[in-house]
């Protein structure tokens, strides 16, 4: 009896899958619509749908779409002593840093924060050569597709690449985490907002803000004057500005702020990056 019920359940599942894909999708949009229909019919959950949508979207995105721009890079100068560059490392709390020569376009290599641990045991008067700790830097063009970059990251076991513009200058940097976040959403790290808070300032001067932040609290923090009558949360305000449910990395300007979507699924916005504009 139990085997019969098991077989019946298995046939039911297969029938549902077969029925969902009875008509072979002829375009990416048709495929996504089939997957959304499967989610509505409880064949897959919203998280699985979001990941599939992100994986498909990666093929359409280029490095320039997600890179940390040059102006927000935390770099270390090769001529600096540990006393000079350690405060910046402690403040940013990243694991990797580009090391530059005379200008930001001269990237000499990548410094891993863990490689500085021997300094703890080193005598203060002992010579220190930063260049000896550097790992080779990987350079990629702004136009490289994210799916290609992710494949190269995995093949070469790299976690960071310096992005070069069409003139050979440094345009920014990109990490494997930046790419993965396009697929699975925001990955918890030092930039994430604490569970019991809504707004977190970044060293760059930007802010990571939860979409559920009450408009009233946002106004109080940023001294803004957005109306609280039409929308209760910042997510609702942002959704109204877009006029549709935005995807990750879509950007809009509201008042004196530029707002970029960091994490969203097929139902709602989760996390935003807020930049105060100089107007």
Q: What residue segments make up the domains of the chain, in order of their start?
A: 64-184, 199-276
Cβ-in-10-Å burial (0-12, 13-18, 19+) of 230 comes to: exposed
CA distance 259 to 207: 10
CA distance 261 to 251: 6
Question: Which CATH number describes the domain made up of 199-276?
Answer: 3.30.465.10
- Residue whose entry in the numeric block shows the structure tokens 């994430």: 192
Query: 3-state DSSP call for residue 196?
Result: coil
Read off the pTM.
0.57
139-157 residues labelled b (16+ CB within 10 A) or e (exposed): ebebebebbebbeebeeee
Say if 64-184 and 199-276 have the same CATH topology.
no
Asked whether the beta carbons of 69 and 172 are under 8 A apart, the reply is yes
pLDDT of residue 190: 43
Query: 3-state DSSP call for residue 241?
Result: helix
DSSP 277: -
Q: ∠ CA 248-249-255 to the nearest 5 degrees?
A: 115
pLDDT of residue 10: 46
DSSP assignment of 136-184, as one string? PPPEEETT-BHHHHHHHHHHHT--EEEEE-TTS-EEEEEEHHHHHHHHH
DSSP 259: E
Asked whether the beta carbons of 268 and 245 are under 8 A apart, the reply is yes
Model pLDDT for residues 162-200, shown as the tens digit of each residue: 999 988 999 999 999 888 877 776 555 544 544 446 788
Residues of the chain with pLDDT under 50: 1-11, 190-191, 193-196
| CA trace torsion 182, 186, 187, 191 (10° rounding) | 130
In the CATH hierarchy, which fold is given to the domain comprising 64-184? CBS-domain (3.10.580)
Cβ-in-10-Å burial (0-12, 13-18, 19+) of 225 comes to: exposed
Sequence-ordered list of residues with C-beta below 8 angstroms from that of 181, at least 6 positions apart, any chain: 66, 187, 248, 262, 263
SS3 assignment for 74-108 = CCEECCCCHHHHHHHHHHHCCCEEEEECCCCCCEE
Q: What are the C-alpha distances in Å from 17 to residues 13, 34, 44, 50, 52?
A: 6, 11, 10, 19, 16
């Amino acid at each position: 009896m139990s085997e019969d019920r098991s077989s019946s359940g298995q046939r039911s599942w297969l029938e549902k899958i077969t029925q969902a894909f009875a008509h072979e999708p002829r375009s990416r949009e048709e495929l996504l619509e089939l997957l959304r229909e499967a989610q509505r019919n409880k064949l897959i959950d919203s998280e699985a749908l979001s990941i599939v949508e992100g994986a498909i979207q990666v093929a359409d995105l280029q490095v320039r779409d997600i890179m940390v721009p040059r102006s927000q890079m935390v770099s270390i100068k090769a001529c600096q002593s540990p006393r000079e560059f350690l405060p910046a490392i402690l403040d940013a709390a990243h694991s990797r840093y580009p090391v530059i020569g005379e200008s930001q376009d001269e990237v000499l290599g990548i410094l891993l924060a863990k490689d500085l641990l021997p300094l703890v045991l080193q005598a203060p008067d002992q010579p220190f050569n930063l260049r000896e700790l550097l790992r080779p830097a990987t350079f990629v063009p702004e136009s490289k597709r994210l799916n290609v970059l992710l494949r190269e990251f995995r093949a070469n076991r790299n976690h960071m690449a310096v992005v070069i513009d069409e003139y050979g200058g440094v345009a920014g940097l990109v990490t494997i985490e930046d790419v993965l976040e396009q697929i699975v959403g925001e990955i918890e790290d030092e930039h994430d907002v604490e569970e019991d808070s809504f707004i977190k300032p970044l060293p760059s001067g930007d802010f990571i803000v939860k979409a559920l932040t009450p408009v009233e609290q946002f106004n109080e923090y940023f001294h803004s004057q957005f109306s609280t009558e039409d929308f209760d949360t910042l997510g609702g305000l942002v959704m109204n500005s877009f006029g549709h449910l935005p995807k990750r990395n879509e950007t809009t300007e509201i008042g004196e702020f530029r707002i970029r979507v960091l994490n969203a699924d097929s139902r709602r916005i989760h996390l935003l990056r807020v930049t105060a504009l100089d107007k």
